[in-house]
Amino acid sequence: MNSAEATEPEQPRNQSVNRPTNLLSDWRIAVLILFALWGLIYMVGLSTPALLDDADTVHAEAAREMVQRHDWVTLYANGVRYLEKAPLMYWSVATSYTMFGVDEWSTRFPLMLGVLCIILATYGLGRWAFGPEGGFASALVMTTALGPYLFTRFLIPDVPVGFWLTLTYWMFLKSLEEENPSRWVCWGLAAVCALNVLTKGLIGVVYAFAAPEMTAENGVVIAHEMLHTVGATDKYNLADDAPRFPEGFGDPGQIPLYPQRNAELMAGRRMLASDRWEQASSLDEVVVGAATAQEIRWPQHAE
């Protein structure tokens, strides 16, 4: 009887601990909380600081002249054709100018909507992969992270690029999960890649194939792109994609030189002869060359 009495007070405590989890399992409540945090962090002070003299003003001027000229195809900045950037960000800012007028807050408003899209996409991906708690925790980190906030202080397209990449990764994972990827996943992946190209140019193309037999080759592509983020550069000729000698060869001192036993990761291709090469089919066929190791500051292994 004493033991039963001792256990009775524990039940209300367990229920109170589980109550927030039960509330967050409802996606509507979770999204409402995330929406409120987004508004508090990003929408307050939308007009400050003033646009900076470099990227901000040039990009804003290009969007303003797009509205003024009624030309949504060719960008102009200060009356000079401005063809260095992809157009989607300028289209969104020009649309904001058309709806709300030209102002600091209307310039940044499309970027703020982009952050909201990233938050919701992160929540959806996290909920799909790890359940309601994982989805909310992931989105909460994204909402309160310093990086996205800093990237909305400048008029640059990195925020929408992050959104498209999040969707791309989500659809890519779904395609791997399905034996025969559904039509909407395949078309959605193609559409998101196209929108990324319109946002950032050809760097927005994601070279990932949905077929399960391409998983090993995708690993090479993903590792190649990840090393770009830490300073590694391509080791192949842009004209014909051939690995450059010596830094693009797996073993430039190999005798005989051809065929190479391995591919250098940042070249991505294994030389078979002086005029023939093939794509590395898995990470087992690639090595990190000395030039790449130096670029990413990879410490040398003691012999």
Q: What is the pLDDT of residues 15-32, one digit of tens each?
A: 444 555 567 788 899 999
- Please report, for the chain, the start and end positions of each structural domain, with discontinuous segments joined by +: 23-161, 211-303
CA dist 175 and 210 (Å) reads: 6
Q: Residue 78 has what pLDDT?
A: 85
User: Residue 202 carries which side chain, given as an amino acid letter?
Assistant: L
pTM for the model: 0.61
Mean pLDDT over 83-89 rounds to 86
Question: Average pLDDT of the chain?
Answer: 83
Answer whether residue 207 shows pLDDT above 50: no
281 Cβ neighbours under 8 A, 6+ residues apart: 216, 217, 220
* H-state helical runs in the chain: 2-7, 10-24, 27-38, 55-69, 88-100, 104-144, 146-151, 158-177, 183-200, 215-228, 290-295
pLDDT digits (tens, 9 = 90+) for 57-83: 888 899 999 999 999 988 898 888 887
Q: Residue 211 has what pLDDT?
A: 53
Mean pLDDT over 243-269 rounds to 92
Mean pLDDT over 91-120 rounds to 93
Nearest to 126 by CA among 20, 34, 23: 34
Least confident among 21-35, 123-137, 288-302: 288-302
Mean pLDDT over 99-107 rounds to 91
Answer whether residue 226 shows pLDDT above 60: yes
- In sequence order, the β-bridge partners of residue 249 are 263
Q: Residue 1 has what pLDDT?
A: 46
% of the chain residues with pLDDT over 90: 42
| Sign of the torsion formed by the C-alpha atoms of 289, 256, 276 and 242 | positive
